[in-house]
Amino acid sequence: MRKLKLQMQMTIDGFVAGPNGEQDWVWLSPPDPIGFQKIVELAETSDTLLLGRKMTREFIDHWENVADNLPDNPTNALAKLIVDMRKIAFSHTETNINGRNLEVQNGDLTATVEALKKEPGKDILVYGGADFVSSLIDQDLIDEYYIIVNPVAIGKGLPVFNGRKVLKLESSLALNSGKVLNKYLPVKENQ
């Protein structure tokens, strides 16, 4: 069965974006080649990418632009992976969003993700947005958490954890940028 892997940037005080979705804090640390390589490696283990509707348009436009028009951009290899990957945007309001290899899903989130996990292929990856990821976490659909903790606190913002969630630290990699890539696995509390 395929795994659903979450990869998200997070502040040291537990937010994935500012109160209005701001993520300018992600770029305060200098780029880290080792960290970027880990992000590429994680993308290479997946052939499907799940997206929340609110982030889809900007996300698709950015990565298609990098893949098509910026061959010298250091993120071009990741852009090509993302553009070529099957992408599913979950929405209650939209039935069509333009983008390469992009489909829109309006059905039940849990049933859809469980069905995707049973399909053949590589794993499934999710990058966000905050509300969408919160829904996945609340439904216990995430199998592996890859949280990139940034050395910045923003005081208030958008969390993805709405309640108690027990996780087991599987690995941790401190990056030269000051960020830390932590891999967590969910733990059933009655175990």
- Residue 134 inside a domain? The answer is yes
Region 120-138 average pLDDT: 96
Burial 6-25 (b: 16+ CB within 10 A, else e): bbbbbbeeebbbbeeeebeb
Digit-coded pLDDT (tens) for 24-38: 999 888 889 999 999
- Does a structural domain hold residue 191? no
What residues are paired with 183 via a beta bridge? Answer: 146, 171
Per the structure, how many domains does the chain have? 1
Average pLDDT over residues 132-156: 97
Neighbour-count burial for 69-100, b at 16+ CB within 10 Å, e otherwise = eeeeeebbbbbbbbbebbbbbbbeeeeebebe
Q: What is the per-residue pLDDT for 81? A: 97
- Domain around 11: 4-186
Answer yes or no: is 155 within a domain.
yes
What's the confidence (pLDDT) of residue 188? 84
3-state helix, strand, coil in the chain (%, to 5): 30, 30, 40
Per residue in 145-191, pLDDT (tens digit) is 999 999 999 999 999 999 999 999 999 999 999 999 999 999 987 65
Q: Would you say residue 74 lies in a domain?
A: yes
Which of 43, 8, 36, 12 is closest to 124 using CA atoms? 43
Tell me the C-alpha distance between 36 and 176, whole Å.
Answer: 12
The answer to whether residues 56 and 10 touch, using CB atoms and an 8 Å cutoff, is no
* CATH number of the domain within which 42 lies: 3.40.430.10
pLDDT at position 48 is 98
d(CA 100, CA 154): 34
Instruction: Give the model confidence (pLDDT) of 84-111 as tens digits.
Output: 999 999 999 999 999 999 999 999 999 9
Does the pLDDT of residue 19 top 70, yes or no? yes
Q: Looking at the domain assignment, is residue 130 inside a domain? A: yes
Q: Is 54 exposed, middle or buried (0-12, 13-18, 19+ CB in 10 A)?
A: middle
- What pLDDT score was predicted for residue 30? 83
